[in-house]
Structure 1
Amino acid sequence: MATSSGNSSGTITTATTAVLTTGLEDGDFVRSMNQRKRRMESNRESARRSRMRKQMHLNELAVTKAQLTSKNDRLASGIFVASRQLATIEAENSILRAQLMELSQRLDSLNDIL
């Protein structure tokens, strides 16, 4: 009977060890799954932040584009106005040169008379 109780004790001990080992493995598995879940959640959060940064950057670029487009339109308008003024001034300058030539000729004629 001692042998059988020894065997049964040995079996219980082996079974207990198996349960404890399995319990540790299950605990390790649970910890591993928890770590994996935390990592996945962390990765999701990181991806979400990355998408938010990208969207913010795109919004900033859109604002910058609108500002530059507006500035470009103002500059183009200014160039157009300046070009029209230049044309007007060049026309006036041509008229004044013609008047200068005419007045110079008159002066020369008057000087010749005197």
Structure 2
Amino acid sequence: MFLSEESDQFELPVHETGFTREELEELLSFLESNEPVSPNSGSEVSTRAVSFLEPNDPASPNYGSEGSTRAVYSADERKKRRMISNRESAKRSRWRKKMHLENITDEVNRLSIENQQLKHRLSSVMNQYHIVWRENQVLRSESVALWAKLLKLHWSLATMQPR
């Protein structure tokens, strides 16, 4: 066995784990044998071993699973748990998709309103531009007429003066 061969070189940290030397040897034998450990196997040590393995421990059979349950599950139980997990994941995914769609719809509505406001503002500015442009045209016409009058007066004045 692994432990008996290296017992001189390796001292188990019994005081840190709370397991006795015999319990640790049994735990290591389960781990070396690759046999599934079930909490219903009747062994007190195997139950303690399963509860000892943390869910965040890569050596744990439940590594990465949610919840604080530390038991090893049968294939059917794992399948059922996975199915439930997948359903919950799909439900969360549908909820996220719905929220995303609502956010996009709100954004479209907000941008449509802003677009309408900008169109209205552009229309108002264009109307003001046309009004000012017409006034400018009238003033240019008056300016040309006044220049023509001034030129006529200048010619009249020039012809009245003796040479």
TM-score by length of 1: 0.73
What is the CA RMSD across the aligned residues, in angstroms? 2.0
Q: Does 1:50 align with 2:103?
A: no
Q: Select the residue among 58, 68, 72 that pairs with 2:118.
A: 68
In structure 2, list runs of 5 or more residues that go unmatched: 1-37, 42-72
Q: Take 1:68 and 1:43, find their aligned partners in 2: how far apart are those partners?
A: 37
Where does residue 84 of structure 2 map in the other structure?
34
The higher relative CO (CA closer than 8 Å, separation ≥ 6) is in 2
Give the residue type in structure 2 aligned to 1:48. K
**Alpha-carbon offset, residue 25 of structure 1:** 2.1
Q: Take 2:105 and 2:153, find their aligned partners in 1: how far apart are those partners?
A: 71
Q: Take 2:107 and 2:151, find their aligned partners in 1: how far apart are those partners?
A: 64
- Deviation above 3 Å: which 4+ runs of structure 1? none
**Alpha-carbon offset, residue 91 of structure 1:** 1.2
TM-score by length of 2: 0.52
Q: Take 1:73 and 1:39, find their aligned partners in 2: how far apart are those partners?
A: 50
Give the residue type in structure 1 aligned to 2:117. Q
In structure 1, list runs of 5 or more residues that go unmatched: 1-16
Where does residue 106 of structure 1 map in the other structure?
156
**Alpha-carbon offset, residue 30 of structure 1:** 1.7
**How many residues are paired up?**
93
Instruction: Using the aligned pairs only, state the percent identity.
Output: 16
Q: Does 1:84 align with 2:134?
A: yes
Where does residue 59 of structure 1 map in the other structure?
109
**Alpha-carbon offset, residue 110 of structure 1:** 2.9
For residues 17-28 of structure 1, the aligned pairs below 5 Å read 24-28=74-78
Q: Take 2:149 and 2:157, find their aligned partners in 1: how far apart are those partners?
A: 12
Q: Take 1:111 and 1:62, find their aligned partners in 2: how far apart are those partners?
A: 72
**Alpha-carbon offset, residue 48 of structure 1:** 0.4
**Alpha-carbon offset, residue 85 of structure 1:** 0.5
Is the helix fraction higher in 1 or 2? 1
